[in-house]
């Protein structure tokens, strides 16, 4: 596998290096791990759709688009409250 150079602020590099070190990894290994484990927006959408299908088949749960938007808004509100604590 060939390497690539990525330019980021030194502060970001140093922070990532500290995080990697605390996990017993090199920065290179840590970034490779992130790339392998984080989902792209397309992968997240695909996973969400598979989950919706599974829930609908399992127990009939099938919220409308407006119900999904309301649930998302409620989740955002609760996350905002939790983050403020």
Note the pLDDT tens digit of each residue in 2-52.
889 999 999 999 999 999 999 999 999 999 999 999 999 999 999 999 999
Structure letter (DSSP) for residue 24: T
- Asked if pLDDT for residue 85 goes beyond 80, the answer is no
Instruction: Supply the pTM of this predicted model.
Output: 0.63
Structural domains counted in the chain: 1
In this prediction, residue 78 carries a pLDDT of 96
pLDDT at 17: 97
Rounded CA gap, 38 and 69, in Å? 24
Read off the pLDDT of residues 65-77 as tens digits, 9 standing for 90 and up.
Answer: 999 999 999 999 9
CA angle 22, 84, 21 (to 5 degrees): 5
pLDDT of 1 strictly over 80: no
Which residues form the domain of 48?
41-84
CA 15/CA 31 separation, integer angstroms: 12
In a domain, 78, yes or no: yes
């Amino acid at each position: 596998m060939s390497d690539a150079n990525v330019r980021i602020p030194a502060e970001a590099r140093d922070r990532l290096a500290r995080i990697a070190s605390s996990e017993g990894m090199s920065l290179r290994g840590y970034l490779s791990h992130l790339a392998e484990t984080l989902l792209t927006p397309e992968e997240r959408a695909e996973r969400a759709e598979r989950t919706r299908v599974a829930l609908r088949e399992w127990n009939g749960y099938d919220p409308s688009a407006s119900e999904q938007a309301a649930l998302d808004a409620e989740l955002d509100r609760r996350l905002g409250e939790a983050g403020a604590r």
